Amino acid sequence: MSSSKNINHVVETETGPWMALNKIDIIPLANGEVSTVDVRWKGKNLTLSKVDGIIALTRIKGKGKNASMAHQTLLQALESDEPEIREAGLVALPEVATQKSDELFDWLSVLLDDPVANVRQAASKCLSLSAPVFPSGVQVILQNELRSYDKKRMDAAWKGLNSLCETWPSVACDHIDTLLLEEDPMYRRRAAKLLRKLLSKGGSVTWDLISWALDDEDVEVRRNAAKTLPSLARNETRLATIFSERAIIDSDAKVRLSAVKAIQGMDKDSGRARELILQSASAKDINIRRACIEMLPKLYSEEVLRGIATDLLKNEKDPKLRKELTEMTIDESLEGSESQKNKFLAPAPSVPKIDREVAEAHGIQFGLDKLSVNDADSKKPLSKEERIKEINDSLKEEAKKTNPMYRSVSQDEMMGYDEEFDLMDSDEEEY
């Protein structure tokens, strides 16, 4: 196997007393040139052995001579007759492989079947950490371990696949594709659960996997696939609509509810989304009906909503839903409470400024505006008749001051006789 060139994931490295070793002491301790090395770790004096030296190989970085020596030392540890040495080598393997991975994963495959339980467990953990970093290096190993009869080994492999969904989604899709073809529904269920992690990165391949899972004969597989629809609706409305149309008529209520949630997240102006909600508002499942009926006021105008609610009331039996639908049929402008009716009233026309000023000058208040204290005190209280008389008098005086908009012109003025025949004024008066 060739060494990895592009590492897209940080390997989880354990910490321990070996972190206190000087780098020049790591390889001699790991290959047995020295038996022990004394260090001080967290305020304590400790004596480290070969096991600590092997784990400390993770601290040797670079592509030079030291990295090659660390790689060779690790290979020797993995084929050791001592179980604790093999176990230590598996702890160091994922990090050392980032520098040079030749033959390391071949040994990982072998040690997964080691006769010692602790070594097998270390190998399973090593696979879980290596899968998201070296997808090609462990591809065949991961395929086998995902289907292992040993639950601990299988769980570790699925943990690695879960991380692989984030770092190499295309490779993860390949694994899930094959898992969805397994006869055992347990594999298909677990694979369908991972589809949500692939939505943002998996692309069109993920959409195909969701489509297949929605048609699975196992209800749990369909439920897990349907849970992806609300998230899919936010980014791929067209696809989510197509999938939701299928899911909303599924025989399982949970699958149908996931479809409704997806439709709720779609663009409210989408005609197809409106149709799906309207159709499902009369579904047999009360939970589906409730979710869809609650959405109707957000989709339709009040006038259209009253007609829809009236039609739905003809067949609705649930008391709570009938109450909601009945409220939708009420025209608040005509049948609502006083406060509801008031919302539909037009505001009163404003009082002309001149009328307001004249009225306020006589101590009469208009609207909600309050008179100043000085204005109120300067006037004595008047009776209603006196107030009306004063307002009329004021309006007449104001009219006299106002110049007329136009003045009538006599025929003589039009003909220009005024200046030449002034003596005729008396005759005109007699006439």
For residue 406, being part of any structural domain is answered with no
Average pLDDT, the chain: 81
User: The pTM is what?
Assistant: 0.68
Residue among 66, 71, 85 nearest 24 (CA): 66
Give the lowest-confidence range in 34-38, 189-193, 242-246: 242-246
| CA–CA gap between residue 293 and residue 287 (Å, rounded) | 10
Domain annotation covers residue 163: no
Distance CA 18, CA 48 (A): 7
- In this prediction, residues 77-104 reach a mean pLDDT of 94
> Taking 60 as the threshold, does the pLDDT of residue 422 lie above it?
no
In the chain, what is the straight-line distance between the N-terminal and C-terminal CA atoms, in Å? 132
Tens of pLDDT, residues 260-302: 888 877 766 566 777 777 877 887 888 888 888 887 887 777 8
Task: Please check whether residue 32 lies inside any domain of the structure.
Answer: yes
pLDDT digits 0-9 by tens, 210-259: 999 999 999 999 999 999 999 998 888 888 888 988 888 888 989 988 98
Which residues lie below 8 Å from residue 170, measured CB to CB, with a gap of 6+? 202, 203, 205
Q: Give the range among 67-76, 206-215, 384-393 with minimum mean pLDDT.
A: 384-393
Question: What pLDDT does residue 344 have?
Answer: 52
Q: Is residue 226 part of a domain?
A: no
Q: How far apart are CA 227 and CA 196, in angstroms?
A: 8
pLDDT greater than 70 at residue 415: no
Q: Give residue-wise pLDDT tens across range 138-163.
A: 999 999 999 999 999 999 999 999 99
Radius of gyration of the chain (CA): 44
pLDDT of residue 428: 45
Does 172 map to a domain?
Answer: no
Give the pair of three-digit tokens for residue 265.
Answer: 């997240």
Domain carrying residue 79:
1-147
In a domain, 366, yes or no: no
Can you give the CATH number for the domain in which 104 is found?
1.25.40
**Domain annotation covers residue 261:** no
**pLDDT at residue 429 above 50?**
no
Question: What burial letters (b/e) apply to 309-321, b meaning 16+ CB within 10 Å?
Answer: beebeeebeeeeb
Of the listed ranges 21-25, 78-82, 339-343, 422-426, the one predicted with least confidence = 422-426
Confidence band for 133, pLDDT divided at 50, 70 and 90: very high
Hey, which residues does 314 pair with through a beta bridge? none
What's the pLDDT tens digit per position in 305-348? 888 888 888 888 888 888 888 888 887 555 555 565 565 555 65
Total domains present in the chain: 1
7 pLDDT band (50/70/90 cuts)? Answer: very low
Give one DSSP letter per residue of 210-227, joined into a string. Answer: HHHHHT-SSHHHHHHHHT
| Contact predicate 179/146, CB 8 Å | yes
Query: Is residue 9 in some structural domain?
Result: yes
Note every long-range contact of 143-147, with CB atoms under 8 Å and residues 24 or more positions apart, other chains counting. 143/175, 143/178, 145/112, 146/175, 146/179, 146/187, 147/182, 147/187
Contacts of 402 (CB under 8 A, 6+ apart): none
pLDDT at 115: 96
Within 224-376, strands assigned E span none
Phi/psi at 41 (nearest 5 deg)?
Answer: -130, 120
* Short-list 99, 74, 105, CA closest to 5: 99
